[in-house]
Amino acid sequence: MDIIKSFENLNPYEYVASIKKATGKSVLAYMCSYTPEEVIYAAGIHPFRIFGMVDAIAKADAYLQVYSCSLVRGALEDALSGKLSFVDGAVFPHTCDSIQRLSDVWRLNAGMKHHFDVVWAVKLNTDSAKKYMYDVLAKFVKELQDAFGITITNEKLEKAVSTYNEIRSLLKTIWQLKSDNKSTLNGSQMNALIKAAMVWDRDELAGMLKNLIPSIELSPKNEKAKRIMLIGGICNHPDIYTYIEDSGGVVVWDDLCTGSRYFEGQIATDSNPLQAIANRYYERNICPAKHRDLNTRVETITSMIREHNVQGAIFLYLKFCDPHSFDYPYIKEALDTMGIPSTLLELELQLPSEGQMKTRLEAFIDMI
Amino acid sequence: MSGEMQDKKDNRIKSVKRMKEIMTNYYIDAKTAAQNNKKVGWITSGGPVEPLLVMDVIPVYPENHGAMIGASKMGVQLCEKSEEMGYCRDLCSYARSDIAAAPINGGPIGGLPRPDFLICCNNICGTVLKWYEVQARYFNVPLFIFDTPFCHKEITQEAKDYVGAQIVEYITFLEEHCGKKFDYDKAKEVGKLSIQGQRLWQAVLDTTMHKPAPMSAFDAFFHLALIVTLRGTQIAVDYYTELLQEMKERNAHGISAIPNEKYRLLWDNLPVWYKTKWLSETFASHDACLVADTYTTAWCRQLDYLDENDFLKSMIEGYTAIYLNIGVDQMADAVIGMVDKYDVDGLVMHSNRSCKPYSLGQYDIQRIVQKKRNIPSLIIEADMLDERNFSESQILTRIEAFMEIIKNKRK
């Protein structure tokens, strides 16, 4: 269990700064799970995700209105207050309006050497969009090569594909063990693990996850807790999992970008690696800022509910996250039709008090 | 009459009456489309409407609906209704009120006509994508998404190719759902009329370079409706020809938007639809006229890109590199261009809770304008339609403080 301890104790910025110091690698910060990490890794650059980890906003309020989400404001706060001074640059994939504008504000004010926009397609259901996704990725590769004076060869891309496929498949195995009641990990450990997976040295990570699995695997236990699924964007509050467990529930699956949206979707290994990577971002489970067809998200979520015998769902939204909030009524309605109770928690920088959270969650879980 | 007290009645813009008639007829046509065997296509305000006109589809604009809901002060009621439906109060108030109006035929015109299909162009925001998904599910009609990649620094060749391909897909979609072929000759005509209308609209807005300005941004918010809804038609061309003539006459006779224009201001962002009169009068009481704005110019800023001889192809840049789909620094350059062109004394920015692409980045634009032109600016925290986010006393205090700075600077 030392592995999980090191994930839980991880201080991402200290850790990444130490990697840079020890290896001389460049490091790139990124904003969302649509970042094509594979090509950054293939470039010999260390990619890591920013979670917006501040307790209070001071400097960022002069740059972004209070009606932008805590992720966007928190990330900018870290940049402006010098906490990211070790970073060589940042990557902004196109997703929501807030991250789109954060990219501009960041480019103008964060004072970083490198800045990349990966302006993906928004509709992911046409051949022209598929071609455009490849073109965008090829452009990003070229920009990385020019900026860092390196060459991203096919061999390097193939290595990246196999590393990321392995990491994602191991993460999925760990999630599946939890769903099968065969895991010793609790929810907050799972949250620490997935966040660490977006920060840790990826070569080392694959080995660690492989070693972790036998140490956490149990024979199936008789679990009485109510089976809960989380639906939303980023979850940077490990305590929520603890409160759910204390209230008689257990998170068995999720549709989060700090969860299954990060690891679902393998990259094909039988074709051109760059094309295969682009296809993975074209085909992966969408975030609501993207479009596939009118019912994709409900179909994905309801099939997860069936597959994992989910008994109740918690919508975990960042306040001011427009794409998720727009999807709420129709997903909730689909869950109601299935007879799956749900509740909505809107999160800001800090969680409401433990007492308040527990009262709400206990009331919800009792009802299931 | 400049400098003298103008008779308030004389001062009014006469074309207003004609405008109201045209909009009434337009909505009657749209609402009776099914009886006349015409298709109705809902489309976003920044969307490529010209192909719809080629196909004889009546374009209907939910955002124009939002503006009417706001101006008739029905926003709060519909927003509250949408909250009962499960939509969060922080979401765009145009979207919320339109979504709430659909099932109850709510709003000032008893709801929009039922669409046969929806055309969503995301050059203005990601919100329209979600809004149109909701409506496509509600009405159970096809949705075409015209996906215009954001241009942080420039429009890339990759984006041009992608948007170019979508113009073909758009036409195919229309042919399929209208059951007839696309008429490329007619497309040329519509393209010409669209460009002509936009040139005239720009010329109308340019008349406010005159001191005193013959109309204000608040007037422009009203007269804008046709360049949005009837762009590409002869009706819009005729109307703006008349309006331009009227503005020229007002300039010739020194008839101004406000009685005693001493200070000229630039407005940024969408109007506060339920408070336009109050805002206009409050500024006028300080002899300040909002002579121009970044919003209404959005429907003619693309003239440099549009090509009469190859309109369909020129839609690629014409609809992708638009004001809200570009980087904050480019937007600041555009604002500075307007500061110079209209010779303004200050900048009034509406920080609009409903519109993140327009509002996030305003603080940077404010700093850039301050640095390069050294003019004062004011940020008004509000919402374009949800009056619950408007604090009149607070905003009045801020306007008064701002006008003090402007006046002191002049001394």
Whether pLDDT at B231 is above 60: yes
Residues of B in contact with A68 (CB under 8 A): 356, 360
Whether the CB of A101 is below 8 Å from some CB of chain B: the reply is yes
Which of A63, A323, A327 lies at the smallest CB-CB distance from B126? A323
pLDDT of residue B5: 47
Number of domains in chain B: 2
Whether pLDDT at A279 is above 80: yes
Together in a domain, B213 and B317: yes
CB distance A213 to A63 below 8 Å: no
Cα angle vertex B198, ends B171, B187, to 5°?
25
Whether pLDDT at A237 is above 50: yes
Identify whether B291 is part of a domain: yes
Domain end position, chosen among B183, B209, B238: B183
**Domain of B332?**
186-410
Give me the mean pLDDT over the A226-249 stretch.
95
Are the Cβ atoms of A105 and B143 closer than 8 angstroms? no
Together in a domain, B273 and B311: yes
Whether pLDDT at B10 is above 80: no
Q: Which helix (H) or strand (E) holds A180?
A: none
CB distance A238 to A316 below 8 Å: no
Higher per-residue confidence, B7 vs A114: A114
Are the Cβ atoms of A122 and B147 closer than 8 angstroms? yes
Together in a domain, B175 and B204: no
**Cβ atoms within 10 Å, residue A20:** 16
pLDDT of residue B1: 40
Together in a domain, B396 and B305: yes
Portion of chain B with pLDDT greater than 90, in percent = 96
Together in a domain, B28 and B177: yes
Give me the mean pLDDT over the B222-243 stretch.
96
Together in a domain, B235 and B336: yes
Together in a domain, B383 and B275: yes
Which of B85, B130, B150 lies at the smallest CB-CB distance from A288? B130
Mean residue pLDDT of chain B comes to 96
Residues of B in contact with A274 (CB under 8 A): none
Are the Cβ atoms of A101 and B162 closer than 8 angstroms? no
Portion of chain B with pLDDT greater than 70, in percent = 98
Residues of A in contact with B92 (CB under 8 A): 322
Identify whether B5 is part of a domain: no
Residues of B in contact with A288 (CB under 8 A): 130
pLDDT of residue A214: 96
For residue A106, which of A145, A137, A77 has the smallest C-alpha distance? A77
In angstroms, the separation between the Cα of residue B405 and the nearest Cα of chain A is 21
Chain segment A284-311, per-residue pLDDT in tens = 999 999 999 999 999 999 999 999 999 9
Tell me the angle at which helices B362-373 and A97-109 cross, rounded to the nearest 10 degrees. Answer: 40
Are the Cβ atoms of A67 and B149 closer than 8 angstroms? no
Identify whether B156 is part of a domain: yes
Whether the CB of A298 is below 8 Å from some CB of chain B: the reply is no
Are the Cβ atoms of A94 and B156 closer than 8 angstroms? no
Give me the mean pLDDT over the A41-61 stretch.
93
Identify whether B9 is part of a domain: no
Chain segment A321-347, per-residue pLDDT in tens = 999 999 999 999 999 999 999 999 998
Which of A63, A102, A291 lies at the smallest CB-CB distance from B129? A291
**CA–CA gap between residue A283 and residue A281 (Å, rounded):** 5
Identify whether B282 is part of a domain: yes
Which of B130, B152, B327 lies at the smallest CB-CB distance from A323? B130
Identify whether B290 is part of a domain: yes
DSSP A342: E
Whether the CB of B126 is below 8 Å from some CB of chain A: the reply is yes
Whether pLDDT at A135 is above 90: yes
Q: Long-range pairs for A3-6 at CB < 8 Å and ≥24 separation?
A: A3/A208, A3/A211, A3/A212, A3/A215, A4/A185, A4/A189, A4/A192, A4/A193, A4/A212, A4/A216, A6/A196
pLDDT of residue B202: 97
- A216-225, B172-181, B379-388 — which is least confidently predicted? A216-225
Together in a domain, B247 and B356: yes
Together in a domain, B271 and B367: yes
Whether pLDDT at B276 is above 50: yes
Whether the CB of A184 is below 8 Å from some CB of chain B: the reply is no
Domain end position, chosen among B156, B183, B210: B183
Chain segment B331-387, per-residue pLDDT in tens = 999 999 999 999 999 999 999 999 999 999 999 999 999 999 999 999 999 999 999
Identify whether B3 is part of a domain: no
pLDDT of residue B2: 42
Domain end position, chosen among B183, B204, B235: B183
CATH of the domain at B151: 3.40.50.11890
Whether pLDDT at A125 is above 60: yes
Q: How confident is the model at residue B30 (pLDDT cuts 50, 70, 90)?
A: very high
Portion of chain A with pLDDT greater than 90, in percent = 93
**CA–CA gap between residue A289 and residue A95 (Å, rounded):** 6
Residues 232-251 of B with CB under 8 A from A: none
CB distance A91 to A47 below 8 Å: yes
Together in a domain, B173 and B260: no
pLDDT of residue A350: 80
Nearest CA in chain B to A135: B158
- A281-290, A313-322, A353-362 — which is least confidently predicted? A353-362
Are the Cβ atoms of B327 and A327 closer than 8 angstroms? no
Together in a domain, B191 and B223: yes
Are the Cβ atoms of A328 and B131 closer than 8 angstroms? no
CATH of the domain at B359: 3.40.50.11900
Identify whether B8 is part of a domain: no
Mutate to test the interface with A, among B44, B82, B88 (most CBs of A within 10 A): B88
Q: Assign domain A2-154 to a CATH class.
A: alpha beta
Residues 118-177 of A with CB under 8 A from B: 119, 121-123, 126, 128-129, 131-132, 135-136, 139
Together in a domain, B212 and B143: no
Chain segment B73-84, per-residue pLDDT in tens = 999 999 999 999
Whether pLDDT at B109 is above 50: yes
